[in-house]
Each structure stands twice: as C-alpha cells, then as structure tokens.
Amino acid sequence: MPTITFVSPDGTTHRVAAAPGASAMETAVKFGVPGIVGECGGGLACATCHVFVDPDQIGRTGPAADFEEEMLEDAETAPTPCSRLACQIRMTPDLDGLTLTIAPRQ
Ligand code: FES
C-alpha cells in the first residue's frame, strides 16, 4: 500500500498507508491526521483538505486541475504552485512515499 507522510504546520509528521484507490484526504481522515477536515467528503466543495505537495514530488501528482484551482483560490490559506486538494489526489502505488504538508488554516 502506498504510504503518505503528512506534515502538520508545527512540523509533526504522520506516516500512514493508503488503501488502494483511496484519496489522500480519505486516508488522513481515516487515521485521524489533525488538520485535514474534509468537510464535503471529497465533493470538491469546501477546500478543507488543502495540502502542499513536496516541491520535489509535484511532478508525480501533477498540479491542481482547473476546477480544483478555482476552489483553492477560496481556501483559508493562500495557495502556492504546489497546492492541491487532498481529496483530488487518488493514491496509486506510484505515489508511494508522497509527502504532503497540511495548510495551516483550512
Ligand atoms: Fe472538500 Fe476536498 S474534502 S474539497
């Protein structure tokens, strides 16, 4: 199973294993990773799953899609080129070792 390391704004790390096909948001919520709210359940309607992909890994996830970028513009924390909504990152074996820093305000 692909692992994800979530980095909290205070630097605390949480390394968890994603079920096949689960999103990064679903994985964070399942393991109680603090800071990922996922209020809309992955419906692309809340931006409470805002994360920053490690800059060295953005090529693996790809950047946010156009519709995702629109949601990120309304996020509580200003987006960067590495911003993604964790509910839109579908975990596949090739994403093993992904590092996602949780936005300080959701
Ligand atoms: Fe609502 Fe990701 S959980 S946009």
Residue 37 CB coordination number (10 Å): 15
Instruction: Give 13-45 pLDDT, tens digit per residue.
Output: 999 999 989 999 999 999 999 999 999 999 999
Protein residue with its CA nearest to atom 4 in ligand 1:
44
For residue 67, report the distance from its CA to the centre of ligand 1, in Å.
12
Q: Which residue do the tokens 């890994």 mark?
A: 57
**Residues 62-92: tens digit of each pLDDT:** 999 999 999 999 999 999 999 999 999 999 9
Q: Where are the alpha helices (DSSP H) in 1-106?
A: 24-30, 58-61, 66-72
Which pLDDT band holds residue 93 (cuts at 50, 70, 90)?
A: very high
Domains of the chain by range and CATH? 3-102 (3.10.20.30)
Contacts of residue 68, defined as CB under 8 A and 6 or more positions apart, other chains included, come to: 44, 84, 85, 88
Ligand 1: centre distance to CA 36 (Å)? 9
Ligand 1 pocket, Cβ-based, cut-off 6 angstroms: 25, 38-40, 42-49, 71, 85, 87
User: In terms of C-beta density within 10 A (0-12 exposed, 13-18 middle, 19 or more buried), how is residue 44 classed?
Assistant: middle
Q: Give 85 Cα–ligand 1 centroid separation in angstroms.
A: 6
Shortest-distance atom of ligand 1 to CA 85: 2
d(CA 65, CA 55): 17
Q: What pLDDT shows up at residue 20? A: 85
